Amino acid sequence: MRQVVVLGAGMTRFGKFREATLKSLGREAVEAALAAAGVDPGRVEAAYVSNAIAGLITGQEMIRGQVVLRAMGIGDVPVVNVENACASASTAFHLAWLAVASGLYDCTLALGVEKMTHADKRRTFQAIATALDVEALAAPAAPGAPGGAGESRSVFMDLYASRVRDYMARHGASKRHLALIASKNHRHASLNPYAQYREPLSVEAVLGTPVVVEPLTRAMCSPIGDGAAAAVLCAADTARRLTSEPVYVAASVLRSGKDRAAGEPSIVGRAARAAYEAAGVGPEDLGVLEVHDATAAGELFAYEDLALCGPGEAAGLLERGVTELGGSRPVNPSGGLECKGHPIGATGLAQIAELVWQLSGRAGGRQVPGARAALAQNAGGHLGGESAACCVTILTR
Amino acid sequence: MRQVVVLGAGMTRFGKFREATLKSLGREAVEAALAAAGVDPGRVEAAYVSNAIAGLITGQEMIRGQVVLRAMGIGDVPVVNVENACASASTAFHLAWLAVASGLYDCTLALGVEKMTHADKRRTFQAIATALDVEALAAPAAPGAPGGAGESRSVFMDLYASRVRDYMARHGASKRHLALIASKNHRHASLNPYAQYREPLSVEAVLGTPVVVEPLTRAMCSPIGDGAAAAVLCAADTARRLTSEPVYVAASVLRSGKDRAAGEPSIVGRAARAAYEAAGVGPEDLGVLEVHDATAAGELFAYEDLALCGPGEAAGLLERGVTELGGSRPVNPSGGLECKGHPIGATGLAQIAELVWQLSGRAGGRQVPGARAALAQNAGGHLGGESAACCVTILTR
């Protein structure tokens, strides 16, 4: 297959934007990506558009991508609408990559857009629950018990909490380690103008926010939000005529399956292994990462699953500050899902956008110096011990 | 890119199955496709699953494909969930084809599954309306005025009716020509055990069914229904070891854009031209076709758009019986969307299934003898003069 380059990426700020629509969010991200790529919309030959819950929030199903793109004057390119829960956007990126890598198209657009906020908060939580098997839920679309923060919580918080309690018992990690992650990500987000939360929070302050479900406090959990992110991809041959600093897609891997099976790496581990192999890049080569910290526990698990450290060593990694900006392996310089925000269908492409900016020296106050390889890990959906979707993308320059 | 083969295809009967679920429908189609392909589920490396309205009908969003496949024990393959209105299934097929053609996978599964029936009929019609820009509709999700048949009708019937009234005025075609199409398709469907309607209907009987919107009568319009269809694809090299009668994917083209622009072929015409070129096959080579007759008018337009005849010549084609079983260019031997049925997200793959059976001599009483090339045309969604998605697939043996 051909080498593929991310020619440009863009995103909206993430946040609760009651007045925003799929169209307004999508347009802002696509225009930013096209501007960064330095190409006209006419260059785009096909678009892969991800969105997870617009059908339930806005009533728009079936042709969400066309509706958004046509409103901004892009009406004559093939559009594929993609859903894969919280991994929707990296799935769209994967398809946009494959379309160019295969030689079918020379230039494609990947767009992820999500409007999560709704006047009726229950609607949002019901929509989030569709990333599970709704038929198998006792009460279909049950919003979960109210969390300590006076708001319904996603059913996914319970899954993370139960798994991390297990991990803590086995490896001696503590709630403080989760707070180290959340505090780090809040500090990173304070440097990111696109982030939903921009207030730094000390470890103590993180621990002092209301408990959502033990050991997770509110500041350790990703918020509800709206936003969009986009990337323009093209063949490396073409890219070399358009940019002097191409960012290559070294690997784009999509997996589903058992979270963990005895004697095997986790689903994230299996996807990462395949990506490292495809890219010819190891964890030791990574200058920067964006990982799926829907909760701080997700980032903790990612450290081991991505082989940044060995089993049980995540706490040590945190204590040494390895994954902070300034450390040797910065993770979630954007602030991650916890602080940059997590508009479901946009998240994966926002990770890609951050890494493209990091690799091309455009990450402003949160710039990691000299990174040559970067990894994004995005996960979505859950089915009784199985991950519905797990994407690992490796970018290099 | 590599040559790709459809190794096997399968489908459920289409119809109103109140007790059926996405899982039960999906399983039946996938098991049939795997059996026809003669391969174990373990051979499938990735799945592309289309569904259009389950979010609004069953409450399941985000990971519909995983939910269906995992319930039948296929839990460890990457799944991409695809939506493209009535062209969802051929979009899924397109992705499954590209994944193999590119060399990313050797064997993929495309599944289209739809549950349209709901105790509250309005829910179904509201869901269908999401194939338009719901924000732009005066009343979001307006179900349309009641049709003559005592049931709400899809907003799409109005679009077809207005366009065909125009065509009739320009080219001297009559309501009787539409009835010829519907009657032909009812006769074809009477030979198809998978069809929703299996009663033959004379031209007079078609004209005697209640008017939905002039000139379309009920028997000229596709019904609401449930169903699933699936195909197993693999690389031609592999296929040649598994079957002596490979059916090749000679072209798989997806387009969006203006329905008709002055001096240019229609969107279907543009997609067809690209497909003919890619396949090295012309309309004169086609032994059998399945086209998107959401109404009989759709089939009438397809004759010209696919260059089976020149502009204004569709009526003559019908009068000469060219597109009947027994004619030189049989169209919709399955009965088409009008009679086989049109469970939105399954339709495109049901077209593919019919053509695979036709090309491999497994079409029973509706077999077209000796066809070597076949074309499927599937369309979906509408946005003020633009088609959201149009797929043309050419299969050869």
Cα separation, B31 vs B9, in Å, equals 9
Handedness of CA A70, A76, A81, A86 (dihedral sign): negative
Minimal CA separation from A140 to chain B, in Å: 8
Buried b (16+ CB within 10 A) or exposed e, B38-51: ebebebbbbbbbbb
Cα separation, A332 vs A323, in Å, equals 8
Helix (H) or strand (E) run with residue A46 in it = strand A46-50
Domain count within chain B: 2
Candidates A4, A27, A63, partner chain B, best to mutate (most B CBs within 10 A): A63
Contacts with B131 from chain A: Cβ below 8 Å:
61-63
- The answer as to whether A125 is a domain residue is no
Cα separation, B270 vs B258, in Å, equals 10
Cα separation, B191 vs B246, in Å, equals 25
B100 is written with which tokens?
């193999």
**Of A346 and B148, which is predicted with more confidence?**
A346
pLDDT of B349:
98
Cα separation, A19 vs A233, in Å, equals 30
- The answer as to whether A292 is a domain residue is yes
What is the domain extent for residue B369? 155-222+251-396
Cα separation, A269 vs B269, in Å, equals 47
Interface of B with A in 105-164 (CB under 8 A): 127, 130-135, 140-141
- Return all residues near A106 (Cβ < 8 A) that are at least 6 apart: A45, A100, A234, A235, A238
Confidence category of residue A95, pLDDT binned at 50, 70, 90? very high
- Whether residues A230 and A259 share a domain: the answer is no
Q: Return the SS3 of B135.
A: coil
What is the average pLDDT score of chain A?
A: 93
Tell me the average pLDDT across A32-52.
97
- The answer as to whether B132 is a domain residue is no
A259 is written with which tokens?
């979270």
Cα separation, B69 vs B194, in Å, equals 22
Tell me the average pLDDT across A369-394.
94
- Whether residues B26 and B112 share a domain: the answer is yes
- The answer as to whether A124 is a domain residue is no
Tell me the average pLDDT across A23-41.
97
Closest CA to B357 of B340, B379, B343: B340
Tell me the average pLDDT across A371-389.
93
With CA atoms as reference, the chain B residue closest to A133 would be B67
- Whether residues A183 and A234 share a domain: the answer is no
Cα separation, B47 vs B81, in Å, equals 9
- Whether residues A102 and A197 share a domain: the answer is no
Cα separation, B94 vs B88, in Å, equals 10
- The answer as to whether B149 is a domain residue is no
Q: Return the SS3 of B256.
A: strand
- The answer as to whether B143 is a domain residue is no
Q: Is B379 at the interface with chain A, CB within 8 A?
A: no
Buried b (16+ CB within 10 A) or exposed e, A129-153: bbbbbbeeeeebbebbeebeeeebb
Interface of A with B in 191-210 (CB under 8 A): none
- The answer as to whether B202 is a domain residue is yes
Minimal CA separation from B23 to chain A, in Å: 10
- Write down the ipTM of this complex: 0.95
Per residue in A44-69, pLDDT (tens digit) is 999 999 999 988 888 888 899 999 99
- The alpha carbon of A223 is separated from its chain's Cα centroid by a whole number of angstroms, namely 13
- Whether residues A305 and A279 share a domain: the answer is yes
pLDDT of A144:
39
- Whether residues B194 and B286 share a domain: the answer is yes
Alpha helices in chain B (DSSP H): 22-37, 54-57, 64-71, 88-101, 121-128, 155-171, 175-189, 203-208, 236-242, 267-279, 296-305, 314-319, 336-339, 347-359
Closest CA to B17 of B9, B25, B28: B25
Pick B133's closest partner by Cβ from A67, A84, A88.
Answer: A67
Pick A84's closest partner by Cβ from B80, B88, B94.
Answer: B80
Minimal CA separation from A99 to chain B, in Å: 8
**Rounded to 10 degrees, what is the CA torsion of A226, A231, A232, A235?**
-150
Cα separation, B342 vs B216, in Å, equals 17
Model confidence at A307: pLDDT above 50: yes
Q: Mean pLDDT, consecutive 10-residue segments, chain B of 397 residues? A: 97 96 97 97 97 89 93 93 96 98 98 94 88 71 34 75 95 97 98 98 98 97 97 96 94 93 89 98 98 98 98 97 98 98 98 98 97 97 89 98
Cα separation, A111 vs A113, in Å, equals 6
Per residue in A124-144, pLDDT (tens digit) is 988 988 888 888 764 444 343
- Whether residues B194 and B299 share a domain: the answer is yes
- Return all residues near A325 (Cβ < 8 A) that are at least 6 apart: A187, A188, A191, A333, A366, A368
- Whether residues A168 and A293 share a domain: the answer is yes
The whole-model pTM stands at: 0.95
Beta bridge partners of B226: B15
- The answer as to whether B125 is a domain residue is no
Q: Is B84 at the interface with chain A, CB within 8 A?
A: yes
**Of B201 and A149, which is predicted with more confidence?**
B201
CA angle A245, A251, A254 (to 5 degrees): 140
- Whether residues A95 and A147 share a domain: the answer is no
pLDDT of B142:
38
pLDDT of B153:
62
Q: Do B81 and A79 touch (CB under 8 A)?
A: no
Sort B245 into a burial class: Cβ within 10 Å, 0-12 / 13-18 / 19+. Answer: exposed
- The alpha carbon of A154 is separated from its chain's Cα centroid by a whole number of angstroms, namely 17
Q: Do A58 and B134 touch (CB under 8 A)?
A: yes
- Whether residues B65 and B214 share a domain: the answer is no
Confidence category of residue A293, pLDDT binned at 50, 70, 90? very high
Tell me the average pLDDT across A85-101.
98
- Whether residues B311 and B330 share a domain: the answer is yes
Residue B93 maps to which CATH number?
3.40.47.10
Candidates A3, A27, A58, A62, partner chain B, best to mutate (most B CBs within 10 A): A62
- Whether residues B206 and B234 share a domain: the answer is no
Q: Do A62 and B79 touch (CB under 8 A)?
A: no
| Bridge pairing between strands B247-258 and B386-396 | antiparallel
Buried b (16+ CB within 10 A) or exposed e, B56-89: bbbbbbbbbbbbbbbbbebbbbbbbbbbbbbbbb
Angle between helices A347-359 and A88-101 (to 10 degrees): 60
